[in-house]
Amino acid sequence: MSEQASSDVVTHRHLVVRAVLRTDVGLVRSENQDFGTYTTPSEEKDSHAAGRLLVVADGMGGHRGGATASRIAGETVKAQFLGSETVDIATSLREALARANARIYSEAQSNPDLRGMGTTTSALAVRGEHGWLAHVGDSRIYLVRGDTIRQLTEDHSLVATMVREGLLTPQEAEVHPRRNVLQRSMGVADDVEIDVRGPFQLQEGDTFILCSDGLHGLVKEQELKEIAQGTIDEAADEFLRKALERGAPDNVTVIVARVERSDVDSDALDETLKDTQKLVAVMDETLRDTDKIRVADAAPPPAQPVTAAPPQSSKPMRWALALVVVAGAAGAWYFLSH
């Protein structure tokens, strides 16, 4: 995929967004509970929203639950956005995240193995020369413009609230023992408050970074800004390398997207989504807690439902039936032969 816009002189060159995704399980976890996805030009052209959507989600709630929650979030937000009947992007995003929250919550209530699962969700939509975002949790969206970087999302975490209230400094928050406690996440209740922003004006060369805390917890803003100056593929690879180099105790997921001027129709970009991780079903494995917790998790866990004992073997019954049949046949033979 070319990183350079055409050098031909054209009468009209519009903004396009090119994106790449990288995700990795990290060096400590046994499963990737992050999920990333974005729309492709072929999907976008038939959508009312007619814009590009990028989503990163970071799951929590046990070995199987976290991966399930983040995948439901990413896939539902994408499907709802593309299928929305409104052309209003802010409304489409809010409805998409609300629908994803409801699906995660419903799935958790119907499956004891998934009870309590949840996820962060950060979504960016771009149409024309404007952008919008929707956000729940502590994954982040950054905008790199020129020599500046700005965090567009607000962390819904305990330490972030304490920083905003002046109870902690940003430096203290980075090493606080409760820095992974979330105050808001998707799927843990039947309703959730969703931050929605936009429209905001885009400029050629703008670079967006959507990432889970497995990246922004290890690579700080100044480094993110410097690395983002390269091509989007180079930047994404370097982000992942930096996180792994520093121990990667958590899953790492990043989408790097750049706004460019191009004379090529968006549906001719021929972009494919090939870096999204597969969801591996975990059927008979004990659930394990992750280090991302909610305030409500301090309460004792609900009692697990009693599982009925497995039915006893029917082999003795089959032997008894066989003896009855044999005895009956022997009696009939004796009766007929006398």
User: pLDDT digit string (tens) for 309-324?
Assistant: 333 333 343 444 344 3
User: pLDDT digit string (tens) for 93-152?
Assistant: 999 999 999 999 999 999 999 999 999 999 999 999 999 999 999 999 999 999 999 999
Whether residue 170 has a cis bond before it, omega within 30° of 0: no
| Strand residue runs (E) in the chain | 14-24, 34-38, 52-60, 118-127, 130-136, 140-145, 148-151, 181-182, 195-201, 207-211, 252-262, 293-294
- Give yes or no for residue 241 having a pLDDT over 90: yes
108-112, 171-175, 287-291: the lowest-pLDDT one = 287-291
Let me know: does 118 contact 133? Beta carbons within 8 Å: no
Contacts of 181 (CB under 8 A, 6+ apart): 157, 158, 159, 293, 294, 295
Let me know: does 117 contact 104? Beta carbons within 8 Å: yes
Q: How many CB atoms lie within 10 A of CB 174?
A: 13
Q: How many CB atoms lie within 10 A of CB 63?
A: 18
What's 117's DSSP letter?
Answer: -
Q: How confident is the model at residue 306 (pLDDT cuts 50, 70, 90)?
A: very low
Position 63 scores a pLDDT of 66
168-177, 215-224, 239-248, 258-267: the lowest-pLDDT one = 258-267
Tokens of 180: 């992974």
Position 278 scores a pLDDT of 40
Position 169 scores a pLDDT of 87
Nearest by Cα to 208 from 192, 224, 188: 224
Q: What distance in Å separates the CA atoms of residue 335 and residue 325, rounded to the nearest whole number? A: 16
Please state, rounded to an integer, the average pLDDT across all residues of the chain. 80
Considering 60-74, 189-203, 260-274, 303-317, the range whose residues carry the highest mean pLDDT is 189-203
Per-residue pLDDT averaged across 218-237, rounded?
97
Position 292 scores a pLDDT of 55
Q: Please count the CA atoms within 13 angstroms of the CA of 18 that sit on its side-chain side.
A: 21
User: pLDDT digit string (tens) for 58-98?
Assistant: 999 876 899 999 999 999 999 999 999 999 999 999 999 99
Per-residue pLDDT averaged across 27-33, rounded?
95
Q: How confident is the model at residue 297 (pLDDT cuts 50, 70, 90)?
A: very low
Position 50 scores a pLDDT of 80
Q: What distance in Å separates the CA atoms of residue 40 and residue 183, rounded to the nearest whole number? A: 33
Q: What domains can be seen in the chain, in order of their start residue?
A: 14-298 (3.60.40.10)
Q: How confident is the model at residue 176 (pLDDT cuts 50, 70, 90)?
A: confident
Phi, psi of 262 (to 5 degrees): -150, 150
| Residue type, position 91, single letter | T
Position 265 scores a pLDDT of 55
**Strand-strand pairing, 252-262 and 207-211:** antiparallel
Helix axes 89-110, 63-83, angle to 10 degrees: 150
Q: What distance in Å separates the CA atoms of residue 321 and residue 315, rounded to the nearest whole number? A: 10
Instruction: Look at 325 and 199; give whichever has higher pLDDT.
Output: 199
Does this model's pTM top 0.85? My answer is no
Q: What distance in Å separates the CA atoms of residue 172 and residue 161, rounded to the nearest whole number? A: 13
